[in-house]
Amino acid sequence: MSSVHLIFCMAVLAGGTVTTRIIPRYDGLLMELTSDETITDSITVTGYFVNVRPGNRVVMPDTYLPFWVCGWETDADSSGFTVELTDAVDSLEYCLSEDNQVLLLFFRAAEPLVFPELSWNGPPEEPFCIDSSLVYSDSSIIAALELGQQSPWLDDFDCIVIDPGHGGRDPGAVGPEGTYEKDRALEIALLVRDILNIRRPELEIVMTRSSDCYVSLGARTRFANERKADLFISIHCNAAVNSSANGFETFFLSRARSDDSRAVEMLENSVIEYDEGYNTANHDFRDDALSFLLADIAQNIYLERSSSLAVTIQESMAERFPGSSNRGVKQAGFYVLRGALMPSVLVEIAFISNSNEERMLQSLDFRLASAEAIVDAVLAFAEKQ
């Protein structure tokens, strides 16, 4: 186990507001602090806790926690912050610009590309959960869809929504050893986000959830529409009554075509039972501001691209996991994809109901390789847009 070994402390005078930018890299994490006035850098390192006091009002990014960091907290007087690092970080380097307005901190990884176990067991300060009351209601977009045109924002490919399946009171499928689908899906999704941030820092990557919290199916796509995302990727682990079922498959939206697809569809759609106020007897989606008829039109517009992304993901997974069974691209009627006004897919990484694959899902190497396979496919897809 490595440790942060640099201990230093220094101070200069300062004022103003400091904004913080987080730039993840394969060899560590770069933090850029920029101030409109002079920065006072005062850095104290205690074990894995690094306290930085620029002496100005600090604005920290609110939702993004890259994997080198367990957490961060703004000091009570707002003039500094403390970062808690994971043991993947070996040392800290820093430099201050000549005009004393930019402070760069580099948390260097012991070994490049070492991804620590992700954990959210600690109490998340304020878990980022999207507002489920969020409703998309831009009439110009609805009008475009009715004319069979794509959502206008898709012209520039700059935002991807990653959707870890289940969460909170909805555990998803549970493996024979008690592994929850919601946990493994979140871990893989966070890796996808972080690797995308590294490889294409100009893309905006947004999560429908980044902690163990419940988000309704409808809220997930409404959120993606609200953020004008260009791609929606839902990440899940599969389950089947037959405990020897294995392999990976990717779905895009349509009526389920085979009995197998219908089974997966029923399993994933059963989440709706966890929605407050949902009543299976009389629920229908007409209440939704965006009618599902319109969503169907949207998905027809994106059908080709959604299926092309699904194919690319399957190819990419097959390349990474030649020993696993490639179950192919399938079509099913997932509620979680139905409201998406952009190309969307649902990836079933492996079968959590199969004890071999449950063990695979418990391994960080496997989760990392799965995340990289998805990222490769997304970037190949983005090239074609």
**Smallest distance from Zn ion to CB 69, Å:** 28
Query: Quick one: 151 or 179, whose CB is closer to Zn ion?
Result: 179
Q: Which is nearer to Zn ion, 106 or 251 (CB)?
A: 251
Instruction: Name the minimum Å distance from CB 182 to Zn ion.
Output: 8
The burial of 368, by beta-carbon neighbours within 10 Å (0-12 exposed, 13-18 middle, 19 or more buried), is given as middle
Closest residue to Zn ion using C-beta atoms: 236
8 Å CB contact between 319 and 206: no
C-alpha Rg value of the chain to the nearest Å: 22
Round to whole Å and give the CA distance between 156 and 204: 12
Q: Which of residues 52-71 bind Zn ion (CB under 5 A)?
A: none
Nearer to Zn ion, 212 or 268 (CB): 268
User: Quick one: which of 28, 55, 165, 167 contacts Zn ion (CB under 5 A)?
Assistant: 165
Find the shortest distance in angstroms from Cβ 185 to Zn ion. Answer: 7
User: x/- string (CB under 5 A) for Zn ion, residues 265-304?
Assistant: ---x------------------------------------
> Which of 80, 167, 172, 343 is close enough to bind Zn ion by CB under 5 A?
172
Is 338 among the residues that bind Zn ion (CB under 5 A)?
no
x-or-dash string of contact with Zn ion, 205-244, rule CB under 5 A? -------------------------------x--------
The nearest distance, CB 268 to Zn ion, in angstroms, is 5
Q: Give the footprint of Zn ion on residues 177-196 (CB under 5 A).
A: none
- Is 109 or 130 the residue whose CB approaches Zn ion more closely? 130
Q: Which residues bind Zn ion (CB under 5 A)?
A: 165, 172, 236, 268
